[in-house]
Structure 1
Amino acid sequence: MKVFNILTAILIFSITSLHGQNTDVPYAWLAGSWTGDGFGGTSEEVWSLPSADGTMMGTYRHHKGDGSLNFYEFMVMDSTGLRLKHFNPDMTGWETKEDFVHFKAIEFTEDMIVLKGLVFERKSDDEIEIRLDLKNGDKAWTEVFKMKRK
């Protein structure tokens, strides 16, 4: 009887912990905590499991090479792509109140999230590579982030 109660408790916990979650969306593999490099410092990214409507929320934090905080991002991923806002360490925003950066969806596959100007590629269950296309005046480059699951 005790084993039955334990198994029942595990089943109930599993069902209630996924309530309102949608793990069937093609980008659900991104959920979790990631850390790695990028911009000459340390990058940290955290993604929630997708909600029932397929929306994931994420946060990003960057520390410079000397360890000082550089900036934050608040992100939302859904079938249309990724929308984000940047914040300074004092929480003042880079974009105006109504504006945000939008990386429009191009393709979602089992191991890739391809957005206009941004790609997330799953290298293994615990490693991803993020490639961000950047431009400053006439100079264009791709910043590559090698991230590991925490």
Structure 2
Amino acid sequence: MKKLILCLTFSAISFAQNTLHYNNDKGSEKTTLQNIKWLEGNWKGEAFNGIYKENWSKPFGESMVFNFKLVVKEKIVFYELGHIIEKDGTLLYQIKHFDANLKGWEEKDQSEDFRFIKKEANRMYFDNFTFEYVSENEVNLYAYFEDSKEEMVFNFNK
């Protein structure tokens, strides 16, 4: 009986997971920006006791560029700049972070890179990130944080 309860508990935890980790042996599924073009637009939401805004460009020149900012109590906490690019027949999600004074968190020649894994129905899976199309005016971003071993959902609305 204990084994059954443990198995059911583990199964429930596994199915609650919305992010995947990149597997070098499996690699990336082939895709283009046309499969995530629904991300284009100006989005906003709430997290970390503040408001965030994120803007995504149309696919152009094999990339979609974005900017993000988090504001808490009318003060900038941090910015992100990045893009999703077409590379080697698939996609790559790259981010750079900046503090409120535009001082970069990563080294100047470094970015955080997240390889594409697969497309499934209304979701695009990258290493530790999942973009989910909910409607024309709503998108979820699931992010897995390595340090805390926690997954968070960010709900974006137009």
TM-score in terms of structure 1 length: 0.76
Matching residue of 2:145: 134
Residues 39 and 143, structure 1, Cα contact 8 Å, conserved in 2? no
C-alpha displacement of 1:37: 1.6
C-alpha displacement of 1:142: 1.1
- Do the aligned partners of residues 24 and 116 (structure 1) sit closer, same or farther apart at CA in structure 2, a change above 3 Å counting? closer
Q: Deviations over 1:59-103 (max 9, x none)?
A: 011112x23110001111023321010001111100001111011
For this pair of structures, how many residues does the alignment match? 123
Query: Partner letter of residue 129 of structure 1?
Result: N
- Separation of aligned partners in 2, 1:51 and 1:110: 24
C-alpha displacement of 1:140: 1.2
Residues 38 and 144, structure 1, Cα contact 8 Å, conserved in 2? no
Does structure 1 residue 69 correspond to structure 2 residue 76? yes
Matching residue of 1:11: none
More divergent stretch after superposition (91-100 vs 103-112): 103-112
TM-score in terms of structure 2 length: 0.72
Structure 1, unaligned stretches of length 5 or more?
A: 1-22
Matching residue of 2:49: 40
RMSD value, Cα: 1.7
- Separation of aligned partners in 1, 2:112 and 2:154: 19
Q: In the alignment, which of 104, 107, 118 is matched to residue 93 of structure 1?
A: 104
Query: Partner letter of residue 124 of structure 1?
Result: S
Residue identity (%):
25
- Separation of aligned partners in 2, 1:90 and 1:30: 28
Per the alignment, in what secondary structure is the counterpart of residue 38 of structure 2?
A: helix
Correspondence 1:1-150 to 2 at 5 A: 25-53=34-62, 55-64=63-72, 66-78=73-85, 79-109=90-120, 111-136=122-147, 139-149=148-158
Pick the structure with greater CA Rg. 1
